[in-house]
């Protein structure tokens, strides 16, 4: 009788399941298409522009976390992936309140309706396209989780428990991390299914250690956002610890952040500018852990 070999875990990309072993260097938080009333004049929706950015990025996987009703483009993501050979993991789920004006259906939908929409994206495909989502987005406001955000988070927990897809949560300026973990774990989500984004906006290592001790994943994803702080401070933070729970991204969420639209730093910034500095600080093995091994574990679909 042949030995029973456990199946290799997989990540769901817009072109279908991919073995975690094939994910490679991963930008754990970015955008290729986005349109939000919270960011007027900053829409970006050009497939050729996205291809130019991705092709010059030296990345092997991009986690594209544009959620429901914010300009997400499943067919565009498939085309970018097909033409560049770069894996793209798309998101279902919902952002924080600021991106959904009063009267938007997400505010009146029931938890079950919110969850069912996510399950359809994860299991059947998004917005009538064959591309399936591979991660669940959620979001909280600055210093609070509003009632509407709380309902969407509870729905995200239900979708996570039913599919094994991870939940990636937007924190506003790095606040509410522990409260988000409390809410999701109270709903029965395993800590290793939770990824907290934008923690580097509040570069408080003691707080990050406390969050990491809960067993969740941390994202430092404002690399190259010099208006927030110099990259040197981010290099110090990464070198100080928590590398075993950490992932990186650029979170290019505005048109002005892309070279293809005449701005910067552009999607090539992570590998071409920041990572060479990071290698000199922490060495190749630690960089590989952050860019390859941690995302392979965090974004794996862990069948419940």
Residues that bind Zn ion (CB under 5 A): 251, 253
CB of 198 to Zn ion, least distance (A): 8
CB of 33 to Zn ion, least distance (A): 12
Alpha-carbon torsion 251, 256, 258, 259, what sign? negative
CB closer to Zn ion, 114 vs 197: 197
From the list 224, 295, 228, the residue with the least C-alpha distance to 266 is: 224
CB of 45 to Zn ion, least distance (A): 16
Query: Which residues fall within 8 angstroms of residue 128, CB to CB, at 6 or more apart?
Result: none
CB closer to Zn ion, 253 vs 265: 253
* Backbone torsions φ then ψ of 12, nearest 5 degrees: -90, 115
CB of 169 to Zn ion, least distance (A): 11
- β-partners of residue 88 are 62
Query: Which residues fall within 8 angstroms of residue 39, CB to CB, at 6 or more apart?
Result: 253, 254
CB closer to Zn ion, 157 vs 197: 197
CB of 34 to Zn ion, least distance (A): 8
CB of 186 to Zn ion, least distance (A): 25
CB closer to Zn ion, 10 vs 265: 265
CB closer to Zn ion, 18 vs 197: 197
CB closer to Zn ion, 134 vs 253: 253
Q: Which residue is nearest to Zn ion (CB)?
A: 251
CB closer to Zn ion, 10 vs 35: 35
CB of 280 to Zn ion, least distance (A): 28
């Amino acid at each position: 009788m042949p030995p029973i070999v456990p199946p290799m875990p997989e990540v769901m990309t817009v072109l279908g399941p991919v073995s975690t072993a094939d994910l490679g260097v991963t930008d754990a938080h970015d955008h290729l298409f986005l349109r939000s009333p919270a960011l007027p004049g900053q829409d970006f929706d050009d497939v050729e522009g996205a291809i130019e950015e991705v092709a010059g990025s030296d990345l092997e996987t991009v986690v594209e976390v544009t959620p429901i009703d914010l300009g997400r483009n499943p067919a565009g993501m498939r085309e970018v992936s097909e033409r560049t050979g770069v894996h793209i993991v798309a998101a279902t789920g919902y952002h924080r309140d600021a991106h959904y004006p009063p009267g938007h259906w997400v505010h009146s939908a029931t938890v079950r309706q919110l969850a069912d929409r996510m399950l359809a994206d994860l299991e059947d495909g998004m917005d009538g396209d064959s591309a399936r989502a591979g991660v669940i987005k959620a979001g909280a406001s600055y210093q609070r989780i509003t009632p509407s955000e709380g309902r969407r988070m509870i729905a995200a927990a239900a979708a996570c428990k039913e599919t094994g897809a991870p939940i990636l949560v937007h924190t506003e300026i790095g606040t509410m991390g522990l409260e988000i973990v409390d809410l999701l774990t109270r709903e029965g989500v395993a800590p290793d299914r939770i990824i907290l984004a934008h923690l580097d906006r509040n570069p408080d290592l003691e707080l990050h250690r406390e969050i990491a001790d809960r067993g969740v994943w941390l994202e430092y994803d404002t690399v190259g956002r010099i208006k927030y702080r110099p990259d040197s401070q981010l290099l110090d933070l990464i070198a100080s610890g928590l590398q075993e729970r950490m992932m990186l991204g650029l979170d290019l969420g505005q048109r002005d952040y892309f070279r293809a639209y005449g701005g910067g730093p552009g999607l090539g910034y992570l590998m071409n500018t920041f990572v060479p500095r990071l290698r000199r600080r922490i060495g190749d093995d630690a960089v590989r852990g952050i860019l390859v091994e941690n995302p392979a574990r965090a974004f794996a679909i862990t069948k419940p």
